[in-house]
Chain A
Amino acid sequence: MYVAVKGGERAIDAAHEWLADERRGDTCIPALSVAQIREQLALAVNRVMAEGSLYDPDLAALAIKQARGDLIEAVFLIRAYRTTLPRFGASVPVDTAKMAVSRRVSATFKDLPGGQILGPTFDYTHRLLDFALMAEGEAAGSPPPTPTPIPSPQGGGGAATPQIPHVMSFLNRDGLIETDAAGDATPPDLTREPMELPASRPLRLQSLTRGDEGFILSLAYSTQRGYGRTHAFVGELRIGTVAVEMDIPELGFAVEIGEVELTECETVNQFTGSKTEPPQFTRGYGLVFGQTERKAIAMSLVDRALRWRELGEDFVGAPAQDEEFVLMHADNVQATGFLEHIKLPHYVDFQSELELIRRLRAEAMAQKEAAE
């Protein structure tokens, strides 16, 4: 009885020990190394990096190991670490046109400069369990080809990185797609400033790219099923590495400080025009760390749905159009924390409810009796 709430300290220590034990599992089975997770569970690592907003495959792999494979817990570990890191500044915007692509597909054109590059995708695999993997062997089939350098459509021009132009630029030449002026304004940082609504598009995109994959996926799916339909085509999906450059004030020019793998998705959305905008194609945009194409596509659909106001469309009351609904509920670390906190003690609140219900009930019963 009352002892149940005593001895919290000892209970916590014991729980931590038990947890460590469970995390390791059967000690007859060799322990996973962080490098194994990084190399062989790369898509989980990518998700943790994307939603943890920290590009570090080793730390993401460590977090997955420590979290026993609970990816939201791993995201949380990364976020809590990330928040302690100093900020040196902002990078120069990454140039995804210069991406060293491993995959690049367009659903809107059969062929296009730069070509369709299928890359390492599950798309056309048959989802049959490969029991050879279970036998701890390698999968049957030939080893993957070593990636060949992708020929630059411009003939190289001496640049080390071949340039694959964005599909959007072809449509743009005909004025068929909306253009967005380039700007060099410092984007807001939602980890340093409290979220203020209505949010600018950069802030919305920031929130979406670190938002929960499942939540963004379902919202995007809902727009496809008619809750704020946006008629999206995948104009282009590309995955690859880009250089990250930073302006060094002492030097007066930008220096490459590393590279990151990104997935970029641009949707082309039919748009018949509104009071303020002529008929044209409009865009949705997704950019996510790592090979995370489900997330990037979903993000671009949700981004487009959220743009109803600036395009002069109607708000039809769809969840994916509702900026406050989307942005306030996209973060899984916030969501899981608040959801799970209801398992913490609530004796006091519950007690006050108990008294209230007893009182209301007693009065209701008395009234009923009096009536009979």
Chain B
Amino acid sequence: MTAQDYNFAYLDEQTKRMIRRAILKGVAVPGYQVPFASREMPMPYGWGTGGVQVTAACLTPDDTLKVIDQGADDTTNAVSIRKFFQRTAAVAVTEATAEATIIQTRHRIPEAALTEGQILVYQVPIPEPLRFLEPRETETRKMHELEEYGLMHVKLYEDIARHGHIATAYAYPVKVEGRYVMDPSPIPRFDNPKLSDCPAIQLFGAGREQRIYALPPYTRVVSLDFEDHPFEASKAPHDCDLCGASDSYLDEVITDDEGGRMFVCSDTDFCRGRVAAGHIGRLGAPDLAQEAAE
């Protein structure tokens, strides 16, 4: 495949227009899932076809693209999607959150605060927050229409009754501007507070399920909770072993077969930035950590 064989960013202009219309509708009705005629992409469903279509529809030749998966720029699928756009759109790419104009992400929101003018594109597997309570699309659409979210509150209540906590660790449901209950994609609930009042545009693409939804800048997004059981953003009770950050989401890495563990920032750009600025974690500089691995 060469760039000339396909239109800029792979999709033809008619398709992009169709997707942009869905995006605009989504921005106009925050949190509402807009059906769109998702195309078959040259990567499998489940690999981010929704996000890729949204990114393709938003990209211009002047954009700088960042792609992350699990917070990291160098996970295999992030590499693959970044390469896809380099090949089909020849856009500039970056790993630095602050330099990117469009960031496509899977499962994380970058640690660094986003700014006006940036677009954050989420890959979404199941856009319907009510899906695991009611498998039928025909029913869940009706529930959204009628703002009938009792079932979700019952589920959260039952969690508390049974476990003492809300047993949802990722894809924690939110309410958008007091209207639609929305699935924030499988980000850890640690990231939920970053959804609200964000200066960047947040777009969500679900390819297989043919849905797009959006949060325009500075939208109020509230994680569902109860007065006596307020929402709590949680993470591993550790600091990053490479950069010492205490406020970033951590990956747990198994280092040996005797229970050895290390905790490192899942956001690789954030961690690298801190190390470069002289912050040092428990296991010292990243070089040391890598040596220990080999």
Q: Check A274 for interface membership: any CB of B closer than 8 A.
A: no
Contact between B165 and A359, CB atoms less than 8 A apart: yes
Q: 0/1 per residue, B158-176, Cβ < 8 Å to A?
A: 0000011101011100000
Give A11 to B76 CA distance when docked, in angstroms: 8
- Contact among B79, B165, B254 for A1, CB-based, below 8 A: B254
Task: Determine how close the nearest CB of chain A comes to the CB of B243; give it in whole angstroms.
Answer: 13
B102: A residues at CB distance < 8 A: none
CB of A61 within 8 A of chain B?
Answer: no
Digitize B176-197: 1 where CB-to-A-CB distance is under 8 Å, 0 elsewhere.
0000000000111110000000
**A338 interface residue per 8 A CB criterion:** yes
Check B250 for interface membership: any CB of A closer than 8 A: yes
B40 to chain A, nearest CB (A): 4
Contact B70 A80, beta carbon cutoff 8 Å: no
Is the CB of B61 closer than 8 A to any CB of chain A?
Answer: no
* A342 CA / B77 CA spacing, docked (Å): 12
Q: Is the CB of A347 within 8 A of B169?
A: no
Binds B, one of A100-108, A188-196, A256-264, A312-320: A188-196
Of the candidate stretches B30-38, B90-98, B110-118, B145-153, the one touching chain A is B30-38
Q: Shortest distance in angstroms between A364's beta carbon and chain B's nearest beta carbon?
A: 9
Q: For residue A83, which residues in chain B have a CB less than 8 angstroms away from its CB?
A: 39-41
Q: Does A289 contact B (CB under 8 A)?
A: no
The number of residue pairs between A and B whose CB atoms lie closer than 8 Å in the complex comes to 155
Interface contact A345-B169, CB-CB below 8 Å: no
> B252 touching A12 by the CB < 8 A rule?
no
Say which residue of B36, B72, B254 sits within 8 Å of A194 (CB atoms): B36
Name the B residues within 8 Å of A336 (CB-CB).
44-45
Number of A positions contacting B (CB below 8 A): 50
A315 to chain B, nearest CB (A): 13
**Are A344 and B236 also in contact (CB < 8 A) when A76-B44, A194-B35, A198-B138 are?**
no
* Residues from chain B with Cβ under 8 Å of A195 in the complex: 210
Residues of A1-29 contacting chain B, CB below 8 A: 1-3, 5-9, 11-12
Q: A353 contacts which chain B residues (CB < 8 A)?
A: 169-170
Residue B51 CB within 8 A of the other chain = no
B46 touches A348 (CB 8 A): no
Please give, as numbers and ranges, the residues of chain A lying within 8 Å of B35 by CB-CB distance: 194, 196
Q: Does A334 contact B (CB under 8 A)?
A: yes
- A192 engages B37 (CB within 8 Å): yes
Cβ-neighbour of A341 out of B44, B72, B187 (below 8 A): B44
CB-defined contacts of B244 to chain A, threshold 8 Å: none
**Chain B's nearest CB lies how many Å from the CB of A355?**
6
CA distance in complex: A5, B69 (Å): 11
| CB-based contact B6/A84 at 8 Å | yes
Q: Whole-angstrom distance from the CB of A155 to the nearest CB of chain B?
A: 48
Chain B hits for A338, CB < 8 A: 45-46, 125, 208
Interface residues of A in 187-222 (CB under 8 A from B): 191-198
Q: Are A8 and B74 in contact (CB under 8 A)?
A: yes
Identify the closest chain A residue to B249 (Cβ).
A348
In the bound complex, residues from chain A placing their C-beta under 8 Å from that of B38 are: 194
- Band of interface residues on B: 35 or more
| B60 close to chain A: CB less than 8 A | no
**How far is it, in angstroms, between the C-alpha of A334 and the C-alpha of B72 when the chains are bound?**
26
* Complex Cα gap A82–B40 (Å): 8
Question: Are A334 and B45 interface neighbours, CB within 8 A?
Answer: yes
Residue-wise, chain B 251-268 has the 8 Å CB interface mask toward A (1 for contact) of: 111110000001010100
Residues 76-111 of A at the B interface (beta carbon under 8 Å): 76, 79-80, 82-84
Q: Does B294 contact A (CB under 8 A)?
A: yes
Question: In the assembled complex, how far is the CB of residue B93 from the closest CB belonging to chain A, in whole angstroms?
Answer: 12
Complex alpha-carbon distance, A192 and B15, angstroms: 9
Instruction: Please tell me if the beta carbons of A1 and B293 are within 8 angstroms of each other in the complex.
Output: yes
| A29, B136: Cα distance in complex, Å | 51
**Residues of chain A contacted by B39 (CB below 8 angstroms):** 83, 191
Complex: how many Å from CA A1 to CA B46? 26
* Distance between Cα atoms of A196 and B39 in the complex (Å): 16
Choose among A6, A194, A328, A340 the residue that contacts B44 (Cβ–Cβ < 8 A).
A340
How far, in angstroms, from A82 to B12 measured CA to CA in the complex? 13
Most chain A C-beta atoms within 10 Å of own C-beta, residue among B36, B40, B49, B264: B40
Enumerate the 5 nearest inter-chain pairs by beta-carbon distance, A residue then B residue, closest first: A341-B46, A337-B45, A352-B169, A337-B44, A194-B35
Partner-B contacts on A (CB < 8 A): 1-3, 5-9, 11-12, 76, 79-80, 82-84, 191-198, 324, 328, 333-334, 336-342, 344-349, 351-356, 359-360, 363
Known: A339-B46, A348-B170, A348-B186. 19 other contacts (CB 8 A): A1-B255, A1-B262, A1-B292, A2-B264, A80-B40, A83-B41, A198-B138, A324-B138, A336-B44, A337-B47, A338-B46, A341-B44, A341-B45, A345-B76, A346-B186, A348-B107, A349-B170, A351-B252, A354-B252
List 16 interface pairs A-B (beta carbons < 8 Å), by A numbering.
Answer: A8-B78, A8-B79, A11-B76, A83-B41, A194-B210, A324-B137, A334-B208, A341-B47, A345-B75, A347-B251, A348-B107, A348-B170, A348-B187, A351-B188, A351-B251, A355-B169
Q: Which B residues fall within an 8 A CB radius of A?
A: 6, 12, 35-42, 44-47, 49, 69-72, 74-80, 83, 107-108, 125, 136-138, 163-165, 167, 169-171, 186-190, 208, 210-211, 234-236, 249-255, 262, 264, 266, 289-290, 292-294
